[in-house]
Amino acid sequence: MTGGTMDLLTLLISGAVFLFTVSLAILIFLAWNESRFAEKFAIKKRLCYISAGGKHGQEKLKKYREKVLKDVGAFERLALKIPRSSKLDRLLLKSKLPLNASTFIIGNLAVSVMGFLIALKLFDQTLTAIGLGLILLAAPYVVLKFMEKAQFDKFQEQLPEALDLLARAMRSGHALTSGLEMVATEMEDPIRSEIGAAVDEINLGLTHHEAFENLCTRVPSTDLRFFIVSILVQRETGGNVAEILDNISKLIRERFQFSRQVKALTAEGRYSAAVLICLPIFLFIYIYFVNYDYLSLLWTDEIGIYMLIGAGIAQLIGAFTIKRIVTIDM
């Protein structure tokens, strides 16, 4: 590289580092600020759940949002007025990070650009720099998806206990809404926050159907959908709600027991699949850095390109086949 190009690259790296530092400072400030003002944190969390809930009852929720924003500080008002992505909001809520969608996107882009520029300066290979930049761009989103999956699994495990608690509350004479409030009070996260958000929406004027549909949007659980359908049908036709909840709770526990047995029986196949899929990828990356000239024939020679495409197709077919073997629909 020429001296002018190096100076420009160094300047771009400095800019990316500055942007990343600013994003990190904003994250630390948000964490510190929300730890000092619990009421503002509760308001922000409630608004984020409203944003992440879906499209049902948005006219009523919009009026509430506008009213609440008058009572928060200027910084929170600006952050909460930024156009939001409900899907990304759901991921950030599951991660329990004090971030809004805009801050996350800016920080993610800063890390990706910084990784691209540093790799370009160290290795002097555009393909390597682009690959590292794309990996850093996708990595935070992948981590959020894993955290969402962990929260979803925990919600599924808590659901039978929550249904038992709701059934006991309704047997003792509580209404459905007050029973849900007991679940939101007595249980732990994540089911406490999800049920609490549904109760908040009902108290704000949404119908039970609208609030439950928003809940299903936030938590796409089949078992939860069974519970909601049974509740909505019971409200129209009547019936013993407590007995229905007991039956659903028993069914969910039996499905969990069967699921654990299936995971134990298919563990060897799943781990073998992970090794067989990841080993060629890691070996490719290792040879790329150790002996680039040898590996570069795969994309500089015509036969190598065909081999690379064939290997990719074979890898996908193998992964799909193994997944079909070890996956059992329940």
Token pair in block for residue 300: 């500089």
% the chain with pLDDT above 70: 70
Once rounded to an integer, what is the mean pLDDT over residues 205-214? 81
**Peptide linkage before 220 cis (omega within 30 of 0):** no
pLDDT of residue 68: 53
3-state secondary structure of 37: coil
Q: Residue 35 — pLDDT band, cuts 50, 70, 90? A: very low
Token pair in block for residue 258: 């069967």
Which amino acid is residue 9, in one-letter code? L
Residue pLDDT, tens place only, 45-65: 555 555 555 555 556 555 555
Distance CA 31, CA 127 (A): 37
Which amino acid is residue 317, in one-letter code? I
Whether this prediction's pTM lies above 0.85 is answered by no
Tell me if 117 sits within 8 A of 92, measured CB to CB.
no
Q: Would the pLDDT of 38 be above 50? A: no
- Count other C-beta atoms under 10 Å from residue 211's C-beta: 25
pLDDT of residue 37: 42
* In the block, residue with structure tokens 């159907």: 209
Half-sphere exposure (CA, 13 Å, Cβ side) for 123? Answer: 18
Token pair in block for residue 74: 């200027």
- For CA atoms 213, 215, 221, 225, the dihedral sign is negative
Scored b (16 or more CB within 10 A) or e, 101-140 reads bebbebbbbbbbbbbbbbbbeeeebeebbebbbeebbeeb
pLDDT of residue 45: 57
Q: Which architecture does CATH list for 154-263? A: Up-down Bundle (1.20)
Q: Which helix (H) or strand (E) holds 42?
A: helix 38-53
Domain boundaries, the chain: 3-148, 154-263, 266-326
pLDDT of residue 131: 79
pLDDT of residue 273: 81
CB-based burial label for 71 (10 Å; 0-12, 13-18, 19+):
exposed
Query: What's the CA angle centered on 299, arms 286 and 124, to 5 degrees?
Result: 60
Once rounded to an integer, what is the mean pLDDT over residues 154-163? 89
Once rounded to an integer, what is the mean pLDDT over residues 197-206? 80
Q: Which helix (H) or strand (E) holds 221?
A: none
pLDDT of residue 39: 46
Q: Would the pLDDT of 175 be above 60? A: yes
pLDDT of residue 293: 82
